Amino acid sequence: MRKWVKEHGLLLANAGLFLAFFVGMILSGAAAYSEDQTTHGQPGVTVLEYLSTGDFVEATFENWESEFLQMAMYVILTVFLFQKGSSESKPMGKTAPQDQDPRDATIKDSTPWPVKRGGLVLKLYEHSLSILLLLLFLASFSLHAAGGAAAYSEEQQSHGQPTVTMLQYLATSRFWFESFQNWQSEFLSVAVLVGASVYLREKGSPESKPVAEPNYETGT
């Protein structure tokens, strides 16, 4: 068990932090939503009731949407683009291991089965990481729109205005403001990481070059 935990420590730590912060978001979100309801003469909600509100769905998936977009675009852009001196870039002027054609690989027992199978299965497997991230982005984008439409309609009703459908909500400036304010921050953080890793180091981290390596060296 101890060995398994050590082998999966990075995933477990991030999953644990996600759950802790997600619970914190739910509890504080339910409290904030209930306060807003009370202010407008409406009854507050329990935590479980809050989970079914458009407010919760919108708040959750507008953030997930930006994270998956960021990671999908980062994975795709690093296939084609380089940053001299950055640990986040593939080496320049030489072939990286990631560029090797799996069809030329020596088949072993440990070789992933899509590589052994070949054909369309291998073609999909070659791009499976970006496909997964893009699908998660599209799902989150849709749920953001659905939750946002429900929350917006609730506000509209409280002011005696007509409700909106999900498609109508997609045409509002509010939806795109929510999306763009998250998207811009995600790409800012990536740009800072890519640029800072040229000159700065973190000993022991695979996201950093070795501390004594020159700034112009590209890749890990």
| CA distances, 42 to each of 28, 37, 39, 51, 158 (Å) | 18, 5, 7, 17, 10
What integer pLDDT is reported at residue 117 of this predicted model?
93
Position 196 confidence tier, pLDDT thresholds 50, 70, 90: very high
What integer pLDDT is reported at residue 94 of this predicted model?
85
**Would the pLDDT of 220 be above 80?**
no
**Would the pLDDT of 201 be above 80?**
yes
- The mean predicted confidence, pLDDT, of the chain is 94
What integer pLDDT is reported at residue 169 of this predicted model?
97
